[in-house]
Amino acid sequence: MKQHHLSLKTKDAVTGFLFTLPALAGLAAFFVVPFGITMKMSLTESMGSSKFVGLKNYSDVLKSAAFKLAAKNTFKFFGVALPCILILSLLIALLLFRNLKKYDIFRTFFVFPLVLPVSSVVLFFQIVFSDLGVVNGVLEHLGMHAADWTGEQAFWVLLILYLWKNTGYNMVLFLAALNSVPPDLYEAASLDGAGWWKKLTRITLPMIAPHTRFILVISIVNLFKSFREAYILFGDHPDQSIYMIQHFMNNNFINLNYIRLSVGAALVFLVIFALVGLLLGLRDKDEGGHE
Amino acid sequence: MTKRKKTGDLVTLVVLILMSVVVILPVLFMVTHSFMSGNELTASYGKILSSSKDDEDDTPIEIDAHLIPREPSLKGYWDVFLATPDYLGKFWLSLGLCAAITAGQTLLACLGGYGFAKFKYPGKNLLFALMVLLMMLPLQVTLVPNYIVLDKLNMIGSYSAIILPGICSAFGVFLLTQTFKSIPDSVLEAARLDGANQFKTLLLVVIPQAKAGIASLVILNFIDTWNMVEQPLVFLKDRLKYPLSIFLSQIKNADLSRAFVCGILAMLPVLLLFLHFKDALMTGIENSALK
Amino acid sequence: MKTRVLSLVFTLALLLSAFAGCSGETEISSGKTDNPGQSGANDIVSENNDPVPGTEEIYPAPDYSDFAMPEETNRLVVYIGEFANRVMTPAIRLFEEMYPGVEVDLQVTKDSECRQKIRTEVAAGKGPDMFLATGEDFPDIYKTMSTGILEDLNPYIQKDNSFNMSEYNEGVMRGGVFRGSRYILPAAYQFPVLLTSKEILEESGIDPDSLNTYQGFIDACTAYHNAKPKNKLFQDGMKNGYLKYLFEYTGIRMIDYETNSVSFNEERFKQFIDVCKLYYTSNPGQATGELACDPLSRRECLFGTMGDNDIMLFLTSYVYMKAYELTPLLSLVPDENDGATAQITYFTAIPTGAANKLNGWRLIKILLSDEIQYGIDDSKENQRQLFPVGNPVRNESMRKLISYHTATYADFVTEEDIQMISDKTMTITNAVMFPTVIYHDVEENMVPYLSGNDSYEKCLGRLKNELELYKDE
């Protein structure tokens, strides 16, 4: 005898799919298809012909000294910036969380950097960090040597810029994460005589782990976006210390070498894929197949 | 116990104040300088911005950075508002664009987020991972292929070339999926037992619970679209159609007074939006202290 | 679980491709399919296809026998920046007269906006049908040429009888040849000259004729310093970027784009750097803003340069020197092959993806026609040192410019002077359009040696390193 209606599980699945359909359709049209085009371009010979040359372009790019430098610097920058911002914004969120009503004004302050437009931020940083700028002036006054902030120290300028701009962003997200921890857990721990360190490491951190993964992804997205300021401040061919994959891609774009640009893009995608795969893989383990 | 809490509170306050000063300094800088006259600005900063340090030049660096205007003047504002006739027009244009994109994305994100957070269907995790991956790709990668796609759809030159890809950005779905996940299933069960269908559940139960997440999405999305420069530049044909962000990004440092004023004006709508939604951001976050 | 496996697979793929990159011979990426069988000699030798002097011909000219001119279409899309539009407007008018059936879509944009848009559109296979561009639009034209995105114009020239290469400055036109194909046709160029006087040279025992060879030029600079240790080389000191200018004039190619390697004549380069070093420490000096003739007449320096000034201002100096009773001498900076290298300022090209190539080609011909070439330097307010590539109009064009300055010196510039300058332009052997990044790199890395803070080898090593990185991008 046939069932009169679909099982609840299947009905649910279909509904779920339908809910996500608009987002997926948009994704397909404006992200999947374009990326497919990029991948295809990365396998062609040159802009003038559409001969398929397989992985030759990839080996060319991977052998390039510029690409290797860019990759190294990008990993280095990400490796430093991401832990810094996560720790910093978590710290601030923890501080604010102690008494949200009282510290509310600070929360507004921390969001200010987000609303300032890029051109203004750049102007400010130029005034502060240029050769004759404020920082060098102070250093000289204190008897120290003025530094070349567009040279080797550019790394730190970029880092400070990124941290300054995005800490507020992450802080807001961390606050929401902290809020999701049920307060009775803390009360129970207090009754057991646990101090703040134990509470932090045994309750807070594990509980906000899924949120943290999420915030990490967002931070990576913002890190990519932060290169806009880097271009304006340091130009197309900056000092070797901050030459990153974005510069590689952008300069090839300027020289109309889209093939090379696509290869770079595909490689970036692969790396992100590996990272995200690892992150989500870990999540699966944590939540024990809750999905 | 109370004494420790008091010192803890004091330390927290000090740290927060210090950090806030660092964070809002650039903004304060912009605000005060927008009221300075052009002459004062060139006198203080002209040299910093235009020349570089000569290694053998021993003249000490003079900094003349100050916060209080010595020659207060509203001329900057006059110049931008009234001397540039299309400024206000561009302002409302940008506002309209951003509102459209933000509204669209929020809608898409609510639907998609609900589907991804609360339903199961085969391949869901894979699609979600793909979506996150593609969201992380930097702009250079997507610009050219997006152009190709939009051109095939005949949308180049019209505002839909900017609005549609903006709506379909995966960021919103990602954010709201995370937010909806933290809404306990019990609430949904309750709604279902009351006989509500999925749409009603989403509308009347889930969304009110997720006000904080949705408010974050609206603010962040608005910020992103308000500052968007590359996409309108490339996808629109008519210069008269360019939104405000492009106009702002083209103000050179040569005209300092204008640069500062425009920075402030660009900041205002976003700031107002944030202040408006500020409380929504905190709904659900209880005033529980960690200790 | 599934996502994890997939991520592992992709990480492996990434690693494998990295290994693929490490092994295998270094291939020179070329944008053309060529016959590696042909070695050395070029079968189709046209006088304008000469290889760059001093470089080996390893890219034989392709086979054009089955080339057909593109089809007729009835559209022409052109983008142009505001400044270059003064040249484009009359050209478009001419085009519309000659080809009434073609709809011309001319878009004038603010220069910097234009670029991002054009780049995206060209990548997508849309965009303009031809370019009239400068070095700002294409920061590294050689890299662009090697991507295959520009059309090879040689077959067009061969098949089209109305276009005659001999009417154009041979040396400058050579600058458009790259790896055996011709991707750009220069439309205007800049011609760096130095001003000096017979008297100044004689005073220091320098034979004016020796300035025609690179070695002679170097020797002259050194001799001058020995004779007059306190004097400067140029009217402004060697600082303020004059290293860059002089380097540009010598046309030393730091990167050999044809073979895609960092290789240059190191001996000549060292000679050049050492001359700069002589003058860098002895008399740095600041920019004075004076005309070249004034310090020259005071015998404070050997050469007056153009720097950023336009040729007409330079001509002013030339003329004024006669008033100081000096015999002015315009000297070329010989390039490393003892010829003279010009700098291409405007050029034309056609993207391979263009929809209306034939019309694009027609517009190029018009831009290179006498009528437009006559007016290419035609801007009273905004004078640039542009020389037209069209040979027939060079004298007239100069006369026209001079006529704008009737009050200043039109009466002092004789026909002989005009002819002299005109003849000098015919001695150009090559033309380049190097990215400014290279000049910056040279200056940045060599200044420590010039100021005595570091050794030559170390500076050269750093410079080579940066050039390698740049080349590899």
The conformation of residue C235, written as its DSSP 8-state character, comes to S
Residue B59 in domain: no
CB pairs under 8 A between B and C: 36
Contact criterion met (CB below 8 Å) for A273 and B133: yes
Residue C120 to chain B, least CA–CA distance (Å): 5
In the predicted model, what is the mean pLDDT of residues C1-15?
Answer: 50
Residue B277 in domain: no
Q: pLDDT band for position C377 (50/70/90)?
A: low
For residue C6, the model assigns a pLDDT of 52
Check if C75-190+341-411 and C193-340+431-471 are the same fold.
Answer: yes
Residue B236 in domain: yes
- What percentage of chain A carries pLDDT values higher than 90? 12
More confident residue, B124 or C140: C140
B126 part of contact set with chain C, CB < 8 Å: yes
Q: Where are the domains of chain C?
A: 75-190+341-411, 193-340+431-471
Written as six digits, the tokens of C55 are 């470089």
Q: Which residues of A touch B171 (CB under 8 A)?
A: 221
Which residue in B55, B125, B144 is closest to C124 by CB distance?
B144
For residue C236, the model assigns a pLDDT of 73
Cβ distance A250 to B245 less than 8 Å, yes or no, reads no
C136 part of contact set with chain A, CB < 8 Å: no
More confident residue, A185 or C378: A185
In the predicted model, what is the mean pLDDT of residues B228-256?
Answer: 79
Range of the domain at B141: 85-250
| CATH number of the domain that residue B162 is part of | 1.10.3720.10
For residue C380, the model assigns a pLDDT of 56
> In angstroms, what CA-CA distances link A53 with A57, A59, A60, C151, C227?
8, 11, 12, 21, 62
Residues B14 and B113 in one domain: no
For residue A240, the model assigns a pLDDT of 84
Contact criterion met (CB below 8 Å) for B134 and A27: yes
A63 part of contact set with chain C, CB < 8 Å: yes
Residues B12 and B145 in one domain: no
A67-76, B39-48, C11-20: range with highest mean pLDDT:
A67-76
For residue C310, the model assigns a pLDDT of 59
In the predicted model, what is the mean pLDDT of residues B33-53?
Answer: 71
For residue B248, the model assigns a pLDDT of 76
Q: Which CATH superfamily is domain C193-340+431-471 in?
A: Periplasmic binding protein-like II (3.40.190.10)
CATH number of this structure's domain C75-190+341-411: 3.40.190.10
Contact criterion met (CB below 8 Å) for C271 and C456: no
Written as six digits, the tokens of C293 are 């003739």
Residues B97 and B74 in one domain: no
- In single-letter form, the type of residue at position C114 comes to C
pLDDT in tens, B132-141: 888 888 887 7
Residues B73 and B110 in one domain: no
Q: Comparing C258-272, C283-297, C445-459, which segment has the lowest mean pLDDT?
A: C283-297
Contact criterion met (CB below 8 Å) for B213 and B282: no
Cβ distance C3 to B125 less than 8 Å, yes or no, reads yes
Residue B12 to chain C, least CA–CA distance (Å): 42
Compute the mean pLDDT over every residue in chain A, rounded to the nearest whole number. Answer: 82
pLDDT at C46 over 60: no
Residues B167 and B26 in one domain: no
For residue A279, give the chain C residue with the closest CA.
C4
For residue C4, give the chain B residue with the closest CA.
B126
In the predicted model, what is the mean pLDDT of residues B189-210?
Answer: 76
Residues B204 and B232 in one domain: yes
The conformation of residue C28, written as its DSSP 8-state character, comes to P
> In angstroms, what CA-CA distances link B209 with A210, B63, B171, C56?
19, 52, 20, 73
pLDDT at C241 over 70: no
For residue B104, the model assigns a pLDDT of 93
Residue ending a domain, among B57, B78, B99, is B78
For residue C461, the model assigns a pLDDT of 93
> In angstroms, what CA-CA distances link C363 with A38, A190, C91, C94, C159?
33, 83, 7, 9, 16
Residues B114 and B200 in one domain: yes
d(CA A246, CA A261) in angstroms, rounded, equals 10
pLDDT in tens, C424-437: 888 888 999 989 88
pLDDT in tens, A112-137: 888 888 878 888 888 888 777 777 77
User: Which three-class secondary structure state does DSSP give residue C332?
Assistant: strand
C124 part of contact set with chain A, CB < 8 Å: no
pLDDT at A87 over 80: yes
Cβ distance C4 to A243 less than 8 Å, yes or no, reads no
Q: Comparing A67-71, A185-189, B57-61, which segment has the lowest mean pLDDT?
A: B57-61
d(CA A41, CA C301) in angstroms, rounded, equals 56
Q: pLDDT band for position C379 (50/70/90)?
A: low
For residue B285, the model assigns a pLDDT of 45
Name the residue among B215, B214, B185, B216 with its Cα closest to residue B201: B185
pLDDT in tens, A12-61: 788 888 888 888 888 888 888 888 888 888 888 877 677 888 788 899 89
A253 part of contact set with chain C, CB < 8 Å: yes
DSSP calls for A174-196: HHHHHHTS-HHHHHHHHHTT--H
Q: Comparing C265-279, C393-407, C426-440, which segment has the lowest mean pLDDT?
A: C393-407
pLDDT at A222 over 80: yes
Residue A46 CB contacts under 8 Å (≥ 6 apart), including other chains: A259, C31, C32, C147, C148, C149
Which of B51, B133, B144, B229 has the highest number of chain C CBs within 10 A, making it the mutation to test binding with C?
B144
d(CA B245, CA B231) in angstroms, rounded, equals 11
d(CA B271, CA B261) in angstroms, rounded, equals 15
Q: Comparing B75-89, B249-263, C185-199, C282-296, which segment has the lowest mean pLDDT?
A: C282-296
d(CA C432, CA C242) in angstroms, rounded, equals 19
CB pairs under 8 A between A and C: 125
B182 part of contact set with chain A, CB < 8 Å: yes
pLDDT at B272 over 60: yes
Which of B141, B233, B237, B248 has the highest number of chain C CBs within 10 A, making it the mutation to test binding with C?
B233
Q: pLDDT band for position C93 (50/70/90)?
A: very high
Residue B60 in domain: no
For residue C470, the model assigns a pLDDT of 92
Compute the mean pLDDT over every residue in chain B, rounded to the nearest whole number. Answer: 78
pLDDT in tens, B145-166: 888 888 888 888 888 888 988 8
pLDDT at B124 over 80: yes
pLDDT in tens, C145-189: 988 889 999 999 988 889 888 889 889 999 999 988 999 999 988
> In angstroms, how far is the first alpha carbon of chain A from the final one?
32
d(CA B254, CA B259) in angstroms, rounded, equals 9
Cα C230 to chain centroid distance, Å, stands at 33
pLDDT in tens, A237-248: 888 888 999 899
d(CA A236, CA A220) in angstroms, rounded, equals 22
Q: pLDDT band for position B50 (50/70/90)?
A: low
Cβ distance C22 to A253 less than 8 Å, yes or no, reads no
Which residue in B151, B237, B239 is closest to C124 by CB distance?
B151
Residues of C contacting chain B (CB within 8 angstroms): 2-3, 107, 109-110, 112-113, 116-117, 120-121, 123-126, 239, 451
Residue A67 to chain C, least CA–CA distance (Å): 7
B98-107, B225-234, C321-330: range with highest mean pLDDT:
B98-107
A124 part of contact set with chain C, CB < 8 Å: no
Residues B19 and B121 in one domain: no
Q: Which residues of C touch A49 (CB under 8 A)?
A: 33, 148
The residue assigned the tokens 């069209």 is C390
Annotate C329-347 with b (16+ C-beta within 10 A) or e (fewer): bbbbbbbbbebbbbbbbbb
Residue B240 in domain: yes
Residues B232 and B100 in one domain: yes
Cβ distance A116 to B27 less than 8 Å, yes or no, reads yes
Written as six digits, the tokens of A265 are 């893009």
For residue C270, the model assigns a pLDDT of 92
This prediction has a pTM of: 0.84
pLDDT at C363 over 90: yes
Residue A240 to chain B, least CA–CA distance (Å): 19
Residues C311, C317, C318: CA angle, nearest 5 degrees: 85
pLDDT in tens, A122-180: 888 888 887 777 777 777 777 777 777 777 788 888 899 999 988 888 887 888 788 77
Count other C-beta atoms under 10 Å from residue C6's C-beta: 16
The conformation of residue A50, written as its DSSP 8-state character, comes to -
The DSSP bridge pattern shows strands C185-190 and C341-349 to be: antiparallel
d(CA C418, CA C436) in angstroms, rounded, equals 31
d(CA C110, CA C426) in angstroms, rounded, equals 35
Give long-range contacts, CB 8 A cutoff, 24+ apart: B184-188.
B185/B118, B188/B118
Residues B44 and B93 in one domain: no
Chains contacting A with at least 3 CB pairs below 8 Å? B, C
Written as six digits, the tokens of B279 are 């409380």
ipTM for the complex shown: 0.82
Cβ distance A19 to B112 less than 8 Å, yes or no, reads yes
Q: pLDDT band for position A183 (50/70/90)?
A: confident
Q: Going from the N-terminus, what domains does chain A have, and what CATH number goes with each?
A: 1-42 (no CATH), 57-286 (1.10.3720.10)
Residue B55 in domain: no
Residue B291 in domain: no
Contact criterion met (CB below 8 Å) for B180 and B206: yes
Name the residue among C435, C446, C433, C431 with its Cα closest to residue C473: C435
B148 part of contact set with chain C, CB < 8 Å: yes
d(CA A41, CA A48) in angstroms, rounded, equals 11
Count other C-beta atoms under 10 Å from residue C31's C-beta: 25
Cβ distance B145 to A34 less than 8 Å, yes or no, reads yes
Q: Which residues of C touch A251 (CB under 8 A)?
A: 473
In the predicted model, what is the mean pLDDT of residues A184-207?
Answer: 81
d(CA B127, CA A20) in angstroms, rounded, equals 10
For residue B271, the model assigns a pLDDT of 83
In the predicted model, what is the mean pLDDT of residues C113-135?
Answer: 85
Cβ distance B148 to C109 less than 8 Å, yes or no, reads no
In the predicted model, what is the mean pLDDT of residues A80-104?
Answer: 85
Q: Which residues of A touch C14 (CB under 8 A)?
A: 267, 270-271, 274
Residues B168 and B202 in one domain: yes
For residue A281, the model assigns a pLDDT of 67
Residues B30 and B105 in one domain: no
pLDDT at C117 over 60: yes
pLDDT at C41 over 50: no
Cβ distance C138 to A255 less than 8 Å, yes or no, reads yes
d(CA B27, CA A108) in angstroms, rounded, equals 12
Residue B194 in domain: yes
d(CA C429, CA A185) in angstroms, rounded, equals 83
The DSSP bridge pattern shows strands C75-81 and C103-109 to be: parallel
pLDDT at C25 over 60: no
User: Which three-class secondary structure state does DSSP give residue B222?
Assistant: helix
- What percentage of chain C carries pLDDT values higher than 70? 79
Q: Which residues of B touch C3 (CB under 8 A)?
A: 125-126, 129
Residue B142 to chain C, least CA–CA distance (Å): 11
For residue A73, the model assigns a pLDDT of 92
Residue A272 CB contacts under 8 Å (≥ 6 apart), including other chains: A220, B133, B136, B137
- In single-letter form, the type of residue at position C330 comes to L
Compute the mean pLDDT over every residue in chain C, rounded to the nearest whole number. Answer: 78
Q: Comparing B118-132, C30-44, C189-203, which segment has the lowest mean pLDDT?
A: C30-44
Q: pLDDT band for position C23 (50/70/90)?
A: very low
